[in-house]
Structure 1
Amino acid sequence: MLNGKRVTVVMPAYNAEKTLRKTHSEIPHDIVDKIILTDDASQDRTVDIARQLNIKTFVHIKNKGYGGNQKTCYQEALRAGS
């Protein structure tokens, strides 16, 4: 929480296994309430790594492109009460 407001990080991802752990480690966890990742039909271990990191993960079966993936991030954040 920051200044009494909930903070949610949304992470649109596609084949992010090489960068996901580092990105996650750089999130200021002391002020972030939720982290949401949407995977856009990655062909690597992005989803496995996200789940290992206890990130709430949503997976597209078919690639929707960056804009479509971002849209899912925002929709899920709103659904979660952010």
Structure 2
Amino acid sequence: MLHDLKIVVVMPAYRAEKTLEECFRAIPHDIVDAVLLVDDASDDRTVAIAQRIGIKVHRHPVNRGYGANQKTCYAAAL
């Protein structure tokens, strides 16, 4: 927590297995309270990787597109 504010990183994801871990490692975890990933029905290992490294995952059952994924990210963060 930073100055009584909660900091949440939201990660929209679709087929992100190749970049997810590197992106997660780049987060300044000393000031971030939570990391959320919204998976847009990826058919790769995105969800498994996110769960393995401790990211809370929200998943769309069908691909809804980038805009809908962003909306879910914002709703999940609040």
Q: TM-score range by the shorter chain?
A: over 0.9
Q: How does 1:1-82 map to 2 (within 5 A)?
A: 1-78=1-78
SS, match of residue 73 in structure 2: helix
Distance, in Å, in 2 between the alignment partners of 1:27 and 1:9 is 8
Q: Percent identity?
A: 59
Deviations for 1:27-59, whole angstroms, at most 9, x for unmatched residues? 000000010100000010000000001101011
TM-score, length-normalised on structure 1? 0.92
Aligned structure 1 segments of 4 or more residues deviating by more than 3 angstroms? none
- Distance apart, 1:2 and its partner CA: 1.7
| Unaligned segments of structure 2, at least 5 residues | none
TM-score, length-normalised on structure 2? 0.97
Distance, in Å, in 1 between the alignment partners of 2:2 and 2:18 is 30
What is the RMSD of the two structures over their aligned residues, measured on CA atoms? 0.6
Distance, in Å, in 1 between the alignment partners of 2:73 and 2:10 is 6
| Unaligned segments of structure 1, at least 5 residues | none
